[in-house]
Chains A and B, each alone.
Chain A
Amino acid sequence: MKLAAAAGGGLFLGFNWSDTNAAPVVVDANQIAAGAVKFNSYLSIGSDNIITIVSPNPEIGQGIKTAFPMVVAEELDADWKLVKTVQGKLDNAQFERQVTGGSGAVPHSWERLRKAGATARYLLVNAAATKWGVPVLEITTADSKLSHKASGKSASYGEFAEAAGKLTAPTDIKLKDEKTFKLIGQSVRNVDNKNIATGKPLFGLDFYREGMLFAIIQRPKAFGFKLKSVDSAAAKAMPGIVDVVTFENSVAVVGKSTWQCKKAREALKIEYEKAADLESSEDHNRIFSNLMDNGEATVRRKNGDVEAAFKSAAKVIKSEYQCPFLPHSPLEPMNFFAHVREDGVELVGPTQTPDRARGEAAKITGFPPEKITVEITRQGGGFGRRLSADFAIEAVHVSKLVKAPVKVIWTREDDMTGGTYRPAVRYRFEAALDKNGEMIGYKLRGVGINSGNPTREDNFPSGSVDNLLIDSVEHKSAITTGPWRAPITNFLAYAEQSFIDEVAEAAGKDPVEFRLALLEKAKKSPAGEVKYDVDRMIAVIRLAAEKSNWGKKKGVFQGFSVYFSHRSYVAQVGEVVVEKGKPTLKNVIAAVDCGIVINKSGSLQQVRGGVVDGLGHAMFGNMTFKGGTPDQSNFNGFRLIRMNEIPEVDVHFVENGISPTGLGEPALPPAGGAVANAFYKATKQRLRNQPFINEEAFKGIS
């Protein structure tokens, strides 16, 4: 415990802007420290009663910059109106995990954040008890105030901040009983609402620095190409261009404005040569079909005797499902600022993994990590794309080569054709039913293109089927892939939940009852290890069925889906009605168990947004290739869902008081299945491939 040094520190949020017309959103560490006591890495309290809470993890739209400080403020009994939230710089010695990915931040930091708040509260109470000469236990706290009822004494936190800061922090701290939470569970508005609505420079693309150069990079136009030769004479002669530099397979046009660089890039004369197969989408279809039957499979999970079960089956159901590659399309394209100096490196920009950016910069420049700073800007979406460091690596290369501060900017076309896609995958599901309609055997084979493991072998229905085999085959391609919001499960959940529907129908059972029976079986006599909480899964199924009035609505075709991912449980019901002979998706009802809901407003929108995202990409998302080159390069060719295409989304949370889990991803996976199953009920046509819009069953409908 120490007083924050008033000197040094620099900017917390590094927006620096040479034009005085812009009002930069700058939180200066000195400003915070002026009369403020730093209690721990998360919070400081000023004599003016302002509490500053640092949110260390990257904000990409998941609401963490609001939710994390809420947790600290809850245990502190802080008055939320007096809380200022700032984005922390990369400092993983203090914060450990500064990543936005896998919906993992909340489960990782829940205890840490609570302890940070509770410790500061403890110290304030002790400081007041000493000063007032009253027992610690008689002091109560609320709204950033300390009170002692018997003596009538009261004071603000600010008045005791300095005294409390001199006390020794306890090693063990008692946390609140969750039932007494006041702030957690409320609807708290996004802390950056005002800045967003008034156009303040918040995002990576908004970061400007005096003397900064811009860089637009030409990357190989096809996956499988490598750079052979560059003629940059014409580009260099164009207005505003400072230099053209080459590194690895990239050619960077460096200049004084984005537009000038973009135009000069068109004047580059580049020759490429083939370094790997230049694949087209037709090749992928052939590869899928070949590997499905003949590929060398890696077994992911095996229970019982699958072959015997299928031999003895009264009925066998078999289906295949396929999805294409997808770009992430965050609305803010990739960009990054780097300044490789004589004495170190400064990095600023939108990254979900600031530590990875630093590690890569260290490798390129030879500087040790402590000579490299990383400031994290607000990010215009991520969806997994900013888990990669490629754009940061580029900025470091270019800055090093031109010896100047540089911001690399990707155009939308660069962003969409630049790879790191959601991998294309094909699944084959097989189910064996006995004469009573019980699922006695289950097989899943996933064939993926650069997908790693395209299955999630321990997810439902694993554990509920005695004889089960899940395996996968991988095809290596020059087309680059990476995590895309709810990796793998973003498509697998739809395929599996649609197939389960097929099986339920073949068994002559209600889709909800069929799922519940499987889960009861997983509970009573599990087949192998069960790595999800059966009761929590049952609870969301029942809640979704109840809230949607499952099976009892006239003229409404309902489809069911449930999925466990990223430690949270989500069930969804899609509702289709037939209007003027056309099936129309009207509603999606979602039941969600993410444990304790931290911010009701943020969580509600996170679920709605997840459903819209899952549905939109299932319906329209399609990335195809010809000779290694993507066919789609902007939103005119690649269709994103729009306001006139969304259903109503009704969200219900399970209240069970369990420690919170993430919500950035789990609402997305079940969306496609709920909708496809409802569509089937209305039309008797299965949608087995994404995008739905290209399916035969869909032609002439949308």
Chain B
Amino acid sequence: MASFKLTINNRAYSADVEGDTPLLWVLRDNLGLVGTKYGCGIAQCGACTVHLDGKAVRSCVLPVSAVGKAKVTTIEGLSEKGDHPVQKAWDEVDVAQCGYCQAGQIMTAAAFLKEKPKPTDEEIVGAMSGNLCRCGTYHRIREAVKVAASKTN
């Protein structure tokens, strides 16, 4: 057991856990940030996607000891009022069915659009194909990323 100091959503946190504990479970079980979801635990589904210094990472395979001083952003901290262009687009396009994967989808899309504000359709599909949606909302995810891109520019 060790104490880890983390910066999450611009706030300082500290967690007393074993160093190999994935960031996902520290967020969920220790810090009460349950918006980041568990889906597979092996970086296959993307439900656990968070930002590490602005880059999308899979928190289920990231040991807390490896986070260091990097700034973590979770779905709870993507925007203060839930009005990030990607979050708004997700509502406008009415993407969610069950909704479980969508936090991860949104985090993936937000990091992607920061890198590529004007993506082509192919680039969107390429960026989003690492995230599984068991309900099959892919058409609307694709559409919502386009809507978000059009609103950001």
* Complex CA–CA separation, A142 to B82 (angstroms): 31
**Given A613-B136, A644-B129, residue A331 in contact with residue B94 (CB < 8 A):** no
* Complex CA–CA separation, A214 to B1 (angstroms): 18
**What size tier do the contact residues of chain B reach?**
35 or more
**Given A190-B94, A192-B96, A201-B34, residue A331 in contact with residue B141 (CB < 8 A):** no
**0/1 interface trace, chain B 113-153, chain A, CB 8 Å (1 if under):** 00000000000011011111111111111100000000000
Across-interface contacts of A601 in B (CB, < 8 A): 94
Interface status of A19 (Cβ within 8 A of chain B): yes
Q: For chain B residues 1-24, which have a beta carbon within 8 Å of chain A? A: 1, 11, 17-18, 21-22
From A28-36, A127-135, A635-643, the one touching the partner chain is: A635-643
Interface status of A54 (Cβ within 8 A of chain B): no
Q: Is there contact, CB below 8 Å, between B37 and A205?
A: yes
Q: Is there contact, CB below 8 Å, between A611 and B100?
A: no
Interface status of A233 (Cβ within 8 A of chain B): no
* Complex CA–CA separation, A257 to B21 (angstroms): 10
Across-interface contacts of A190 in B (CB, < 8 A): 94, 96-97, 99
Q: Is there contact, CB below 8 Å, between B90 and A197?
A: yes
Q: Is there contact, CB below 8 Å, between B38 and A605?
A: no
Q: Is there contact, CB below 8 Å, between B98 and A381?
A: yes
Q: Which residue of chain B has its CB nearest to the CB of A329?
A: B134
Q: Is there contact, CB below 8 Å, between B29 and A257?
A: yes
Q: Which residue of chain A has its CB nearest to the CB of B44?
A: A635
Question: How many A residues face the partner with a CB closer than 8 A?
Answer: 70
Across-interface contacts of B87 in A (CB, < 8 A): 197-198
Determine which of A62, A208, A613 lies in contact with B32 in the assembled complex, contact meaning CB atoms within 8 Å.
Answer: A208
Determine which of A258, A383, A605 lies in contact with B28 in the assembled complex, contact meaning CB atoms within 8 Å.
Answer: A258
Q: Is there contact, CB below 8 Å, between A644 and B29?
A: no
Q: Is there contact, CB below 8 Å, between B25 and A380?
A: no
**Given A239-B1, A644-B125, residue A634 in contact with residue B97 (CB < 8 A):** no
* Complex CA–CA separation, A648 to B139 (angstroms): 8
Determine which of B45, B130, B138 lies in contact with A331 in the assembled complex, contact meaning CB atoms within 8 Å.
Answer: B45
Q: Is there contact, CB below 8 Å, between B125 and A634?
A: no
Across-interface contacts of A202 in B (CB, < 8 A): 99
Interface status of A272 (Cβ within 8 A of chain B): no
Please report whether the interface of chain B is mostly helix, strand, loop or mixed according to DSSP: loop
**Given A19-B31, A636-B42, A644-B126, residue A199 in contact with residue B136 (CB < 8 A):** no
Interface status of B59 (Cβ within 8 A of chain A): no
Q: Which residue of chain B has its CB nearest to the CB of A328?
A: B134
Across-interface contacts of B125 in A (CB, < 8 A): 643-644
Across-interface contacts of B21 in A (CB, < 8 A): 257, 259
* Complex CA–CA separation, A586 to B130 (angstroms): 21
Across-interface contacts of A193 in B (CB, < 8 A): 90-91, 94-96
* Complex CA–CA separation, A413 to B18 (angstroms): 22
**0/1 interface trace, chain A 206-223, chain B, CB 8 Å (1 if under):** 101000001000000000
Determine which of A258, A380, A635 lies in contact with B98 in the assembled complex, contact meaning CB atoms within 8 Å.
Answer: A380
- Chain A nearest Cβ from B39, distance in angstroms: 5
- Chain A nearest Cβ from B82, distance in angstroms: 4
**Given A198-B76, A208-B34, residue A214 in contact with residue B99 (CB < 8 A):** no
Interface status of A549 (Cβ within 8 A of chain B): no
* Complex CA–CA separation, A18 to B25 (angstroms): 16
Determine which of B34, B35, B39 lies in contact with A412 in the assembled complex, contact meaning CB atoms within 8 Å.
Answer: B39
- Chain B nearest Cβ from A595, distance in angstroms: 21
Interface status of A517 (Cβ within 8 A of chain B): no
**Given A199-B103, A330-B134, residue A61 in contact with residue B41 (CB < 8 A):** no
Q: Which residue of chain A has its CB nearest to the CB of B1?
A: A239
Determine which of B25, B75, B138 lies in contact with A643 in the assembled complex, contact meaning CB atoms within 8 Å.
Answer: B138
- Chain A nearest Cβ from B124, distance in angstroms: 8
Q: Is there contact, CB below 8 Å, between B25 and A634?
A: no
Further pairs besides A258-B28, A412-B42: 11, Cβ < 8 Å = A19-B31, A21-B32, A22-B33, A196-B102, A197-B87, A199-B74, A205-B37, A208-B34, A259-B17, A332-B39, A634-B41
Which B residues have a C-beta under 8 Å from some C-beta of A?
Answer: 1, 11, 17-18, 21-22, 25, 28-42, 44-45, 47, 74-76, 78, 82, 87, 90-91, 94-103, 106, 125-126, 128-142
